[in-house]
Amino acid sequence: MQTVTLRGFEQRQLAKNLIDLAPDDSVVKISPRNRSSQQNAKLHAMLADLAKQKPQGRELDVETWKGLFLAEIGRRVKFEPSLDGTGVVAMAPRTSKLNVKEFSDLIECIYAYGAEHGVKWSERDNYDV
């Protein structure tokens, strides 16, 4: 399997050529690029800062903070009945499924919240949004 990132004319030509050479029943998927490893590292550093600093007195773990911010950008948690019928299970959205733009929106949302509540970021200058 070959992946081509469309950045210019040459890459588009390569993708077209690969399609022409592909055997029948091949599958082609065109999608926005998923979040980068730098964005992911930045997110986890920011969530750790929030968990340590407890803005608004919220003593939350990193995963809870992440779920709150995913909800802020429109990614809602779904609830499903447990298999044994004794409760419900939260099915949280995954940041690995976000594209670069969506991930940038998530990081900007966290920055806005942090600015509003005096959070000091430990990693801000080390990563690109």
Q: Are 24 and 48 in a shared domain? A: no
User: pLDDT band at residue 125, thresholds of 50, 70 and 90?
Assistant: low
pLDDT of residue 90: 85
pLDDT of residue 124: 55
Q: How many Å apart are CA 120 and CA 111, to the nearest integer?
A: 10
Find tokens 């970021």 and name the residue. 121
Is 90 in contact with 26 (CB distance < 8 Å)? no
Q: Are 26 and 36 in a shared domain? A: no
pLDDT of residue 127: 47
| Domain count of the fold of the chain | 2
Residue span of the structural domain in which 1 resides:
1-30
Q: Are 71 and 11 in a shared domain? A: no
What's the predicted TM-score (pTM) here? 0.71
Q: Are 20 and 41 in a shared domain? A: no
Q: How large is the average pLDDT for residues 67-77?
A: 91
Q: Are 56 and 23 in a shared domain? A: no
| Whether pLDDT at 128 is above 60 | no
